[in-house]
């Protein structure tokens, strides 16, 4: 069942009331992405304010989700006191929307468990929208409810496949059957008339043979002439009658063809030809089935993204009047993450930005009023106390002295445009230009002449190379101001017209400011990190380079030790280690959003810079070596090597999608002046030796990933796997990324290039 976003508060209040009546709890399933983390943080703040018990369960794919739900089902079926029996509601954030959740045990009739499904992935399964009453979805105007099919429509299409095939085989006979019957009747009538004429002609010949008397020849000639005239008149009359009958029958045919479709569906008892009415009914039923099939195909024609889940949860907080700066910042982070990954188009991002813009102004005004009222109260108290306290004698009068500070208050959001330069406030400007994806795509900065263009651009701005290679915080203020004032105008001369976009800045502490894009890069670096980030000593500030070297050495020693052991045991151990590392990094990212770990911020910045360098080091050689192949529908590249440390960054589905998008955008930008160049989607496959499989990601590119032009790779992946009987190992929430075993990969990819 789906409800409007204006009534989202009622859904939340229903969960709260159920939990308070019987001291129940809420189980929250959450996916492994930034939007899910931000939505989780907002939702937890609401549950805490209402004193609701909750349990957080992160899940990476549908297999883990099914396993956890099966465990809860067993706990409900067992006899005894179990804490899981107090579950009153499930909340699924960015997990479960694309599959049929209505078939699970908690959606059966008589179940008291309430399920709230908040998923940014589209299309949502039609049964989740149509069937159960205790499964609730909040409409963000991206669900395509008008075109959503019903389960009955799919059942009808499946049951009528055989009948439809028969109709297709004999369709040409049915269409012309009515006309053929009319023409057959006309031919039969003409043949009857010809038979009558033959009979008359034979009788006339017989009479002529019998009457051979010469005396009567003259009389007979006269009689014959009269009879011939009469016969001609009769023939003319017969011909006129035939023409009238033909014209009448043709008129009836035209009248029947001009009837409405609704009249043809009704039983036609008045017409003489009942068979033609049955044929017309079949034609219209066939058209209805065709329209239903088109509706189903359009609904499931490809994947796209709706509004961020954090937007829906923030709307619930807004309707409850519990929105604060932190919850708004979570929404801004989720919105920026989807925008940077090209999950949403520019139009949707502008709509979200305008709403956040209004919220920032409103919340800043309310916060300033609170601060003014508090300072006024403190000032009154101080004046009352100052009348009682005797001031000591002093030579100097400090009454006119005012303290002016440039430090801003913590946890405030400012409206400020941002540049497509990665972490330039926490790095140096030169390296930020060289390693930013947007600049690399336009100037090929991994090559020498591209870096010369960057130096030329910096000289136009008026920043010396020595200053540009210093940390941004250590630069002189005059160069900072010239950078901010001149960058946009000079970049337009260098054909970097899209370097600026509207964004927000968050005051992390008194010294540190983070833009929304910087925060996304830091948070994503924690989730994409291939090892356990908890092994880094945040308090001592251990050097990240040394940590990575130690990590690689330990892994190399483990490989040497396990060479003599079973390969299967080593494969399982490494796979378990990878999964455990992901869960540990998830909780580290969850703590990072609490703004309580300044050392974690430094480490995440270093991780983000290392990830961006790895992105450049692995993506640019593919373009330089012209290793991108082309098929009819997409371009692709297969990475068969797994002996590099940097490549382990991309064993994660989210990071592999970023690498594929980086290669596609850079490749398209290098060919933007080629008129014959045709933009196509891109498929990137990478070999993972630990699991002996290939991870495959399909991306559409910038400004193409919307509900108007959907990503059709999930359909192509499933069709290709079905035709070659290949088993897809990764049952991810994002169907655009799949995992295929090494044995099935060649046949799978060959079939994919033909689909």
Are residues 715 and 670 in contact, defined by beta-carbon separation less than 8 angstroms? no
Whats the size of the chain, residue-wise? Answer: 755
Q: Which residues of 638-662 are buried (b: 16+ CB within 10 A; e: fewer)?
A: bbeeeeeeebbbbbbbbbbbbbbbb
Residues 6+ apart with CB under 8 A from 744: 721, 724, 725, 726, 727
Q: What is the mean pLDDT of the chain?
A: 76
Q: pLDDT value at position 334?
A: 95
The answer to whether 90 and 27 have CB atoms below 8 angstroms apart is: yes
Q: Dihedral of the CA atoms 329, 332, 333, 334 (nearest 10)?
A: 120
Checking if the pLDDT of 310 tops 90, the result is yes
pLDDT of residue 745: 92
Q: Name the residue among 265, 254, 259, 256 with its Cα closest to residue 287.
A: 265
Please tell me the predicted confidence (pLDDT) of residue 48.
93
pLDDT of residue 201: 52
639 pLDDT band, cuts 50/70/90, is very high
Query: pLDDT category, 235, cuts 50, 70, 90?
Result: low
With 90 as the cut, is the pLDDT of residue 381 above it? no
Q: How confident is the model at residue 630 (pLDDT cuts 50, 70, 90)?
A: very high
Integer Cα distance of 111 and 131 in angstroms: 14
Kindly report, residue by residue over 472-515, the tens digit of the pLDDT: 888 888 888 888 888 888 888 888 888 889 999 988 777 778 89
Please check the confidence at residue 666 and state whether its pLDDT lies above 60: yes
Identify the pLDDT of residue 317. 94
Mean predicted confidence (pLDDT) in 418-445: 90
Contact 149, 130 (CB under 8 A): no
Phi, psi of 636 (to 5 degrees): -155, 165
For residues 615, 616, 619, 624, the Cα torsion angle rounded to the nearest 10 degrees is 180
Residue 682: which pLDDT band, with cuts at 50, 70 and 90? very high
Question: What pLDDT was estimated at residue 198?
Answer: 53
pTM (2 d.p.): 0.76
In contact, 305 and 120? CB cutoff 8 Å: yes
Residue 23 — very low, low, confident or very high, per pLDDT cuts 50/70/90? confident
Q: Which of 161-170, 182-191, 390-399 has the lowest mean pLDDT?
A: 390-399
57-68 pLDDT tens trace: 999 888 899 999
- Residues 6 or more apart whose Cβ sits within 8 Å of residue 49: 322
Rounded Cα gap, residues 449 and 470, in angstroms: 22
> Would you state the pLDDT for residue 451?
92
Cβ-proximal residues to 467 (8 Å cutoff; 6+ apart), any chain: 475, 476, 479
Quickly count: other Cβ atoms within 10 Å of residue 75's Cβ. 14
Please check the confidence at residue 454 and state whether its pLDDT lies above 70: yes
Q: Which residues contact 220 (CB under 8 A, 6 or more apart)?
A: 211
Residue 161 has pLDDT above 80, yes or no: no
From the DSSP assignment, how many helices (H) and strands (E) are in the chain?
A: 25, 16
Helix (H, G, I), strand (E, B) or coil at 176: helix
Q: What is the DSSP annotation of 54-80?
A: EEEEE-SBHHHHHHHHHHHHHHHHSSS
Task: Write out the E strands in 379-423.
Answer: 413-419
Say yes or no to pLDDT of 601 above 60.
yes
pLDDT of residue 355: 92
Window from 150-164, 305-319, 622-636 with minimum mean pLDDT: 150-164
In 3D space, the residue among 351, 310, 350 whose CA is nearest the CA of residue 329 turns out to be 310
Contact 408, 505 (CB under 8 A): no
Q: What per-residue confidence (pLDDT) applies to 248?
A: 60
Q: At residue 538, does pLDDT exceed 60?
A: no
Beta-sheet strands, E only, within 142-239? none
Please say whether the beta carbons of 106 and 79 come within 8 A. no
pLDDT at 402 over 50: no
The torsion of the CA quartet 50, 55, 59, 62, rounded to 10 degrees, works out to -90
- What distance in Å separates the CA atoms of residue 426 and residue 521, rounded to the nearest whole number? 12
The pLDDT of residue 255 is 52
Average pLDDT over residues 103-118: 84
Alpha carbons within 13 A on the beta-carbon side of 565: 11
For each of the domains in the chain, give its residue range(s) and CATH number, in order of start. 2-142+306-323 (3.90.1640.30), 146-163+250-303 (no CATH), 337-383+406-420+501-510 (no CATH), 421-500+511-605 (no CATH), 628-752 (3.10.310)
Percent of the residues in the chain that have a pLDDT greater than 90, as a whole number: 27
What's the CA gap between 394 and 137, in Å, rounded?
70
pLDDT of 528 over the 50 cut: yes
The angle subtended at Cα 130 by Cα 127 and Cα 136, nearest 5°, is: 90
Query: Any bridge partners for residue 56, and if so which?
Result: 28
Could you tell me what percent of the chain has a pLDDT over 70?
69
**635 forms bridges with which residues in the sheet?**
630, 682
Which pLDDT tens digit goes with each residue over 28-75? 999 999 999 999 999 999 999 999 999 999 998 888 999 999 888 888
- Predicted confidence (pLDDT) at residue 364 exceeds the cutoff of 90: no
């Amino acid at each position: 069942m789906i409800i409007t976003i204006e009534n989202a508060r009622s859904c939340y209040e229903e969960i709260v009331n159920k939990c308070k009546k019987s001291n129940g709890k809420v189980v929250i399933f959450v996916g492994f992405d930034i939007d899910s983390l931000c939505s989780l943080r907002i939702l937890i703040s609401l549950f805490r304010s209402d004193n609701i018990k909750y349990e957080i369960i992160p899940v990476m794919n549908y297999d883990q989700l099914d396993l956890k739900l099966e465990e809860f089902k067993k706990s409900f079926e067992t006899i005894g006191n179990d804490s899981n029996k107090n579950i009153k509601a499930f909340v699924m954030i960015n997990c479960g929307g694309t599959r049929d959740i209505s078939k699970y045990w908690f959606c059966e009739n008589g179940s008291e468990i309430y399920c709230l499904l908040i998923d940014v992935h589209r299309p949502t399964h039609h049964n989740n929208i149509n069937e159960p009453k205790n499964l609730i979805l909040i409409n963000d105007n991206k669900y395509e409810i008008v075109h959503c099919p019903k389960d009955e429509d799919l059942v009808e299409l499946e049951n009528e496949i055989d009948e439809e095939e028969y109709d297709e085989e004999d369709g040409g006979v049915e269409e012309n059957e009515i006309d053929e019957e009319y023409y057959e009747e006309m031919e039969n009538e003409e043949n009857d008339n010809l038979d009558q004429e033959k009979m008359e002609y034979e009788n006339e010949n017989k009479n002529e043979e019998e009457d051979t008397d010469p005396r009567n020849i003259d009389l007979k000639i006269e009689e014959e002439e009269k009879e011939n005239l009469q016969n001609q008149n009769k023939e003319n009359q017969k011909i006129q009658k035939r023409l009238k009958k033909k014209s009448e029958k043709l008129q009836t045919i035209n009248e029947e063809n001009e009837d409405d479709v609704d009249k043809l569906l009704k039983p036609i008892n008045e017409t003489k030809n009942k068979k033609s009415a049955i044929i017309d009914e079949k034609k219209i039923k066939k058209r209805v089935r065709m329209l239903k099939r088109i509706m189903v195909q359009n609904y499931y024609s490809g994947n796209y993204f709706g509004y961020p889940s954090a937007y829906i949860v923030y709307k619930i907080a807004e309707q409850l009047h519990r929105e604060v700066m932190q919850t708004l910042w979570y929404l801004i982070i989720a919105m920026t993450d989807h925008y940077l990954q090209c999950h949403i188009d520019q139009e949707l991002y502008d709509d979200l930005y305008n709403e956040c813009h209004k919220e920032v102004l409103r919340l800043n005004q309310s916060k300033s009023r609170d601060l003014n009222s508090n300072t006024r109260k403190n000032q009154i108290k101080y004046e009352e106390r100052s009348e009682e306290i005797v001031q000591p004698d002093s030579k100097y009068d400090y009454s006119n002295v005012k303290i002016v500070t440039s430090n801003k208050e913590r946890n405030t959001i400012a409206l400020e445009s941002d540049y497509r330069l990665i972490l330039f406030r926490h790095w140096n400007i030169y390296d930020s230009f060289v390693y930013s994806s947007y600049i690399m795509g336009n100037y090929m900065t991994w090559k020498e002449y591209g870096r010369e263009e960057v130096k030329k651009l910096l000289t136009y701005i008026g920043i010396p190379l020595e200053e540009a290679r210093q940390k941004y915080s250590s630069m002189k203020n005059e160069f900072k101001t010239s950078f901010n004032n001149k960058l946009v105008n000079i970049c337009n001369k260098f054909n970097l017209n899209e370097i600026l976009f509207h964004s927000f800045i968050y005051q992390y502490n008194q010294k540190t400011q983070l833009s929304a894009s910087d925060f996304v890069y830091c948070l994503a670096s924690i989730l994409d990190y291939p090892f356990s980030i908890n092994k880094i000593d945040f308090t001592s500030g251990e050097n990240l380079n040394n940590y990575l070297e130690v990590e690689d050495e330990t892994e190399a020693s483990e490989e040497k030790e396990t060479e003599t052991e079973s390969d299967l045991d080593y494969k399982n151990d490494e796979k378990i280690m990878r999964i455990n590392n992901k869960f540990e990094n998830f909780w580290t990212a969850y703590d990072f959003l609490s703004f309580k770990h300044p050392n974690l911020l430094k480490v995440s910045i270093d991780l983000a810079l290392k990830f961006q360098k790895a992105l450049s080091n692995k993506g640019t050689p593919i373009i330089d070596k012209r290793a991108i192949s082309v098929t009819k529908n997409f371009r692709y590249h297969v990475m068969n090597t797994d002996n590099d440390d940097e490549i382990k960054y991309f064993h994660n589905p989210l990071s592999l999608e970023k690498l594929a998008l980086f290669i596609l955008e850079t490749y398209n930008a290098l060919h933007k002046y080629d008129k014959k160049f045709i933009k196509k989607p891109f498929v990137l496959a990478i070999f993972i030796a630990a699991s002996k499989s290939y991870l495959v990601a399909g991306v559409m590119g910038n400004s193409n990933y919307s509900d108007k032009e959907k990503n059709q790779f999930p359909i192509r992946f499933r069709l290709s796997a079905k035709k070659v009987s290949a088993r897809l190992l990764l049952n991810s929430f994002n169907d655009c990324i799949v995992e295929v075993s090494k044995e099935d990969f060649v046949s799978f990819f060959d079939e994919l290039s033909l689909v």
